[in-house]
Structure 1
Amino acid sequence: MSCSHCVVGKQYLGSPQGKTEVLGGVPCYVGTPTVEYDQKKALILLTDIFGVTFSNNKLLVDDFARKGYRTIAPDYLNGDPAPPYAWNNTEFNVVAWTQNHTPEVTRPLIDKGATSFAVTGYCLYAIDLACDQIVDVLIVAHPSQVVVPTTFETLAQKGKAPFLLEMGNEDVEIPVPQQEEIDGILGGGKYAPGYKRDCWPGCPHGFAVRGDMLNAEQFAGKAGSFINSIAWLELYF
């Protein structure tokens, strides 16, 4: 599925500290830690539909880099993110846009990169990478383009990456009953690599990257999901 909530949210002010680089022929926004870090590892950040030029996504890359992870946001949307007029435009046809950004188009651009990497995704396709066993650690906030239960049954059968799922209780893409269905597939030790789901009150789809920082619950959800992501990386990566 893909819904109007994929384009709704707040844009953040700030001065991105990373650089645009071409890696493996793919334009990327790269955040490099200012402290010593493991250069054999990289955190791949798969942006929301607004892509690598969107300030929120750049600032999120910078946040991970400040925690000691070389973080790379590849332009896996191939220079074709959701256009500016899509921002907070619930009439924008997200489904039509998505049809031009299927895994067949985006995956070749994602698959180029580090030999050991974790992935954190904020909407599209990150779970596919774990199903194909090409990612060491997986963190996903409010995914789109998934089917409950099928996507997660596939992950349970094929995945080897510890999986952290950050959700809001107002997410219309995967509402709470479906989140609990995912728990039934992966939780309680069923998914041996490791699984954890957090569900933040008052948080809609997109909160971890476009949440309203003037809303106390969304502020708590965005900050908390980032803290949990760092803890997951420290535990498994």
Structure 2
Amino acid sequence: MKLFLCLPFLAAVQAAIVPAIDPKAHFHPSVPNAAKPQGKNVTINGVLTYVSLPKTSFDNTTALVLLLDGFGLPSIDNLILADQWAAAGFQTFVPDYLNGDPIAADGDLATWLLDHGEAQTTPPLLAVIHALKERGIKRIAATGYCFGGLYTTRLVQNNTVTVATMSDPSLLNVPTDFDLMKEISHIPIEINNAELDPGFSPAVAAETDKVMANGQYTPGYARRQFNGVAHGFAVRANASDPVQVAAKQGAFDTSLAWLKAHLE
């Protein structure tokens, strides 16, 4: 445990080339989600955390840490996603690593990012992970969405978690982040990307594959592209659009299968 506390959070050397996507470019449902969150907010090691637990018996030595997009805990879509992971059998923890300051749907992304760099967001994330390990949780799966993809990448680079998956990650340096991952990590990673994402685009995904695919990343790597959808597809879908609905469910199913396969 002391090793975990002392382990530095490694960062890519160069500036990120996968941009964060303006919040106004995300799909935002006009009709409120009829589903009600099943979890509750608790404080873990000083950090507000949404916790959603399975309704049936589960392995209490394994946990899933969900790394949210920039809309954070106020977004009901994010909470329902956490509940979906709990329904799949994982005790699910969603730390507020945005420090109570999510971006608004019409917010100024450039200004918001100035106060939400790794120096601000890493400490609360690691505080929750440390507390979970102190509780006796031995295996932690991470799943990150958009803004959370960067932090999933860091957790993999630092070998902090057991297995990870991410969907349309932003703020990454490609290929530098994956070169570093290949050099020092032993954590399996799976990526879901959207055909119409201007950030982690098919071209960027192909650059990632050049580093990671075809057995180059021996711990395990997979990527799945979902066509006809845009950035944020794995969190929000227009219920009247069957392509969006299928892609959102497909990303979840792919991620779930990956985590289960590497936690057995």
Quickly name the TM-score band, shorter chain normalised: over 0.9
The Cα shift of 1:131 comes to 0.8
Contact kept in structure 2, 1:46 and 1:122, CA below 8 Å: yes
2:83 maps to 62
The Cα shift of 1:118 comes to 0.8
**Matched residue of 1:111: which SS?**
helix
Distance across 1 between alignment mates of 2:207 and 2:109: 26
Contact kept in structure 1, 2:23 and 2:109, CA below 8 Å: no
**Aligned partner (choices 95, 116, 119) of residue 74 of structure 1:** 95
The Cα shift of 1:206 comes to 0.6
**Matched residue of 2:234: which SS?**
helix
2:176 maps to 150
2:20 maps to 2
Ranges in structure 2 where 5+ consecutive residues have no aligned partner: 1-18, 134-138
The Cα shift of 1:10 comes to 2.8
The Cα shift of 1:7 comes to 5.3
**Aligned partner (choices 105, 117, 120) of residue 143 of structure 2:** 120
TM superposition outliers: structure 1 runs of 4+ over 6 Å: none
Size of the aligned set, in residue pairs, is 231
Structure 2 counterparts to residues 103-118 of structure 1, below 5 A: 103-112=118-127, 113=129, 114-115=132-133, 116-118=139-141
Distance across 2 between alignment mates of 1:67 and 1:41: 13
RMSD between aligned residues = 1.4
Identity %: 33
2:262 maps to 236
Using the TM superposition, name which of 220-229 and 6-15 deviates more.
6-15
2:162 maps to 136
Distance across 2 between alignment mates of 1:4 and 1:223: 24
Opposite residue 146 of structure 2, the aligned amino acid is C
Distance across 2 between alignment mates of 1:135 and 1:194: 14
Distance across 1 between alignment mates of 2:61 and 2:24: 33
Ranges in structure 1 where 5+ consecutive residues have no aligned partner: none
Return the TM-score normalized by structure 1: 0.93
Return the TM-score normalized by structure 2: 0.84
How has the CA–CA distance of structure 1 residues 33 and 198 changed in structure 2, closer, same or farther, with 3 Å as cutoff?
A: same
Opposite residue 143 of structure 1, the aligned amino acid is P
How has the CA–CA distance of structure 1 residues 158 and 7 changed in structure 2, closer, same or farther, with 3 Å as cutoff?
A: farther
